Structure 1
Amino acid sequence: MKKITILLLAVTISFTACKKKKEEVKVEEETVTTEVTKAKKVKITLNAKSDSNTSGNVVFKEEDGSVTMTAIISGLTAGEHAIHIHQTADCTSADGKSAGGHWNPTGKPHGKWGDVTGYHKGDIGNFTADENGNGTISMTTDEWCIGCGDSTKDILGKAVIVHAGADDFTSQPSGAAGARVSCAGIIE
């Protein structure tokens, strides 16, 4: 009988030692704020310059830190044409030269967009007009913004210029693209 009592006592001590202690757990609440930003959009109308019939629309849309530009242009001669962003939103002169030179806030040489040797922030590139004189071009970049106030990225207050010819991507400072056949200020 003594053996059973000792065994029962050992089991009781063992069981008591294995009981888990209740611990007080503190749970901290964390507030997560998600910022939803509305897409910014600017639509501009291209007007004919240099005695051309070139017109069209350009839409800039900023979303998630990138700006997409889509241009639909008509009244061109068939073939390649350059499109650039120029310094100011002034399209008052008949030849479009009131818009100034290419927008180049970083002081780089003229070139093809994305080229490691350098390019202006306004060096968009070339597009092709079909046999009816219609052309489109679209691009997306995180190197532009709409109204952010960063002088190296903000396209507001600049102008879109369509040229009579193609950009050769090497001639300085503008790519020898010929006359300015259409202009529109990038304004809200």
Structure 2
Amino acid sequence: MMKWLLAGFILLLGGCAQQGNPKEVNVKMYNPDGDSLGTIKVQEQSKGVAFDIKLSGIESGEHAIHIHEKGKCAAPDFKSAGDHYNPDDKKHGLLHPEGAHAGDLPNLIVSDDGSTKAKLTAPQVTLKEGKTSLFTMAGTSLVIHERKDDGMTQPAGDSGQRIACGEISGKNKTKR
């Protein structure tokens, strides 16, 4: 009898654990006019989080994309998204010797037709609970900038104005 009770309790705990944060979310990206640019699929990996990007309606060229510390995308400037996501208090830039922010990502290349498809990885973040979870109480967001990130300049790589934003949201939010 005790074995059956223990087995039932373990099954119950396993079911509860699976009700936590999702392993995948879709982030809808918008420009300052509120036009949809497409979706970025955010998916938990064995190390970090992968971003499967499929967007259109962006000026051609190279653009910075970052994870920001707040899950709010108020147009037209998207400053409501706050600064870069940086739970470990590092310097900005994938090339900086004291970096990078957890929210720093490689630049996006946008085609002449305004579309981009890319797969990027953020190795320092997770969709699971914890210090580097993207599901914080304030939320997080993805922001695309008007220019490329130079990988060094503080605090945002000299990447210019914010031209697109999408809120990352999940079921549970982790306190930090």
TM range (shorter): 0.7 to 0.9
Residues 52 and 81 (structure 1), Cα distance of their counterparts in 2 relative to 1, 3 Å cut? farther
User: For 1:106 and 1:125, how far apart are their aligned partners in 2?
Assistant: 19
> Match of 2:124?
143
Aligned length: 151
4+ aligned runs moved over 4 Å, structure 1: 51-54
User: For 1:104 and 1:71, how far apart are their aligned partners in 2?
Assistant: 22
Residue 120 (str. 1) matches residue 120 (str. 2)? no
Residue 100 (str. 1) matches residue 79 (str. 2)? no
User: For 1:95 and 1:58, how far apart are their aligned partners in 2?
Assistant: 20
User: For 1:54 and 1:126, how far apart are their aligned partners in 2?
Assistant: 20
Residues 142 and 169 (structure 1), Cα distance of their counterparts in 2 relative to 1, 3 Å cut? closer
Instruction: List gaps (5 residues or longer) in structure 2.
Output: 1-13, 171-176
Q: 2:29 aligns with which of 46, 62, 69?
A: 46
- When the two structures are superposed, what TM-score results if normalisation uses the length of structure 1? 0.71
The two structures, once aligned, show a CA RMSD in angstroms of 2.5
> Match of 2:144?
162
Contact 2:50 2:120 in 1 (8 A): yes
- When the two structures are superposed, what TM-score results if normalisation uses the length of structure 2? 0.76
> Matched residues, percent identical?
31
Higher Rg: 1
Contact 2:64 2:159 in 1 (8 A): yes
Residues 78 and 187 (structure 1), Cα distance of their counterparts in 2 relative to 1, 3 Å cut? same
User: For 1:79 and 1:141, how far apart are their aligned partners in 2?
Assistant: 22
User: For 2:34 and 2:160, how far apart are their aligned partners in 1?
Assistant: 13
What's the offset of the Cα at 1:61? Answer: 1.1
> Match of 1:57?
39
